[in-house]
Amino acid sequence: MTVLLYALGVLAVALGIAVSIALHELGHLIPAKAFGVRVTQYMIGFGPTILSRRRGETEYGVKAIPLGGYIRMIGMYPPRRDDAPGTIREDSTGLFQQMAQDAREWEAEQYDPAESHRTFSALTVPRKLVVMLGGPTMNLLISAVLLGVLVCGIGLPASSTTVETVSRCVLPADAPEGTSCTGHPEAPALAAGIEPGDRLLEIDGHAIDQWADVTSAVRGAGDREIDVVVERDGERITLHATPILDERPVIAEDGSAKTDAHGDVVTEEVGFLGVGPGQELRRQSPLEVPGMVLQTFEGTARIVVTLPMRLIDVGKAAFGDGERDPDGPIGVVGVSRLAGEVASADQPRFDLTAKVSTLISMLASLNMALFVFNLIPLMPLDGGHVAGALVEGVRRRIARWRGRPDPGPVDMSRLLPLTNVVALLFLAMTVMLLYADIVDPITLFP
């Protein structure tokens, strides 16, 4: 059964990634066709074609290596303008120029000159931006929809009013994990008979609606005896507890422990009971979705900006004795392994709802990563084409201001050497992450 659940988790995420890629390419395809560009291929994957079907002028298909996708539009590179008579063509003066010329000639052979008005290079700058941003925008929308499902449909993890843990003794706030209870007083909650699974209803006459109410009531009680009303097995029970005064961290508005200028935790003497909350999924208002999308975007952007350093750390972990950062980059194999672990997890906190929620969260994060990564202004990424279109727009506007002839489209074929280098770097990154995910995988349950 565990193996079957593991396989189902892998299959679910693989299917989600495939759909995300398909919709990304659809984000390019729809505006391209709407603007009259001739699209010859819409493919999911790379390498040999497994299955394809032609509809109209476009071939739709699936390829053998499921690591991306593409649409092929005619005329991605603009045709070469004829040089003035008697001059030497720049295209013939060097290796890189020859490479660009060969690329343009190959592109020109793919369509009839009568269709030059249907090429990508013939589009206006705004339309080029719409076509190239259509794919990443689709991933952003997918991420936003999935986060909306999490926030409003399933709910976000939040502390419940049900007791999950009861301390055996009172330890200092800075005591390391695993400290023995020998020589320390018994925790007030344990002495009062509070048990894991009890739902807290009232403390010292204060109704308990959320865990923050528990913290407030206990801290304010000091060291006097208070009544604690709990629900246990459907029965309402009143217990008597005497919190003790103890140095505890000062809680900030966001629920974290306050620290001083030196980074040390700020403490205060307050009442201490010794209970820990359980977790539950709590649905939020749709108004919370934009904030979640922004938070996910910021977290992903930080990873992408620091990607070179993070990849170095991955290399040290895979080929040396470094530790793998659980929040660092991860490849397709690593994502699949995590999905399998989630689906096959046999732990109380991982019920079916929690598993579905985690898998949806993973897909939302992956789509946000596709959105951010594709905006990097380097060829062959979408961001590279966007940068080229923006440069083209600036050049044309400057030419109009100066009363000069239209300089025409930016010839992105001149960037082919850099494009090939970037493509090789991406391939190397993919291979290294694949190796790291096999020899030193990130796991949910170390």
Q: Is residue 83 situated within a structural domain? A: no
Q: What is the pLDDT of residue 419?
A: 84
Yes or no: say if 192 and 239 are a contact pair by the CB < 8 Å rule. yes
Mean pLDDT of all residues in 191-203: 91
Q: Are 169 and 185 a contacting pair, CB within 8 Å?
A: yes
Q: Are 375 and 29 in contact (CB under 8 A)?
A: no
198 and 162 housed in the same domain: yes
- Residue 17: inside a domain, yes or no? no
Greater confidence (178 vs 70) lies with 70
Of 248, 265, 282, which residue constitutes the final position of a domain?
282
At 232-285, the pLDDT tens digits run 998 999 999 998 887 766 666 555 666 766 666 667 778 888 888 888 888 888
Same domain, 322 and 200: no
Residue 166, Cβ neighbours under 10 Å: how many? 19
Q: Which of 51-65, 141-155, 313-327 has the lowest mean pLDDT?
A: 313-327
Pair 386, 377: CB distance under 8 Å: yes
Integer Cα distance of 118 and 366 in angstroms: 34
What is the pLDDT, as a whole number, of residue 382?
92
- Structure tokens, 50: 């497994």
Average model confidence (pLDDT) across the chain: 85
Q: Which of 25, 107, 341, 392 is catalytic?
A: 25
Examine the domain organization and report whether 276 and 289 are in the same domain. Answer: no
| 142 and 360 Cβ atoms separated by less than 8 Å | no
Residues 268, 300, single domain; the answer is no
Is the pLDDT reported for residue 20 higher than 90?
Answer: yes
Same domain, 253 and 296: no
Instruction: State the total domains in the chain.
Output: 2
Answer yes or no: is 73 within a domain: no
- Note if 25 is an active site residue: yes
Name residue, tokens 């929040």. 327
Confidence at residue 1, expressed as pLDDT on a 0 to 100 scale: 57
Please write the tens of the pLDDT for every residue from 380-415. 889 999 999 999 999 999 988 988 888 888 888 777
Distance CA 202, CA 229 (A): 5
pLDDT above 90: residue 39: yes
332, amino acid identity = V
pLDDT confidence of 91, banded at 50, 70, 90?
A: very low
Note whether 224 and 308 are within 8 A (CB): no
Confidence of residue 444 (pLDDT cuts 50, 70, 90): confident
Cα–Cα distance measured from residue 37 to residue 117, given in angstroms and rounded to the nearest whole number = 8
Same domain, 204 and 338: no
* Together in a domain, 239 and 324: no
**pLDDT for 407:** 85
Task: Tell me the residue range of the domain where 232 lies.
Answer: 158-173+183-282
Say if residue 221 is in the same domain as residue 342.
no
> Among 242, 234, 148, 155, which residue's Cα sits nearest to residue 197?
234
| CA pair distance 135, 131, nearest whole angstrom | 8
Query: Are 147 and 197 contained in the same domain?
Result: no
| Distance, CA of 247 to chain centre | 39
**Angstrom distance (rounded) from CA 446 to CA 442:** 8
Same domain, 290 and 278: no
Q: Taking 70 as the threshold, does the pLDDT of residue 425 lie above it?
A: yes
Q: Specify if 115 maps to a domain.
A: no
| pTM assigned to the model | 0.80
Task: Identify the CATH number of the domain in which residue 268 sits.
Answer: 2.30.42.10
The answer on pLDDT for 99 being more than 80 is no
Residue 126 pLDDT grade (very low, low, confident, very high; cuts 50, 70, 90) = very high
- Mark whether 237 and 333 lie in a shared domain: no
Q: Which residue has the higher pLDDT, 68 or 147?
A: 147
Mean pLDDT of 357-369: 92
> Is the sign of the CA dihedral 302, 307, 312, 316 positive or negative?
positive
Residues contacting 47, CB < 8 A, separation 6+: 63, 64, 65
Whether 27 is covered by a domain: the verdict is no
Asked whether the predicted pLDDT for residue 173 surpasses 80, the reply is no
379 shares its domain with 261: no
What confidence score (pLDDT) does residue 86 get?
Answer: 40
> At which of 282, 302, 336 does a domain end?
282
The per-residue pLDDT for 84 is 37
What CA–CA distance (Å, rounded) separates 387 from 51?
Answer: 34
* φ, ψ (nearest 5 deg) of residue 281: -90, 120
Residue 97 lies in a domain: no
- CA-closest candidate to residue 420, choices 107, 135, 100, 106: 100
Is residue 272 domain-resident?
yes
Judge whether 381 lies within some domain.
yes
Alpha helices in 35-124 (DSSP H): 95-109
What's the full length of the chain, in residues?
446
Domain boundary among 247, 282, 317: 282
Q: Is the pLDDT of residue 83 over 60?
A: no
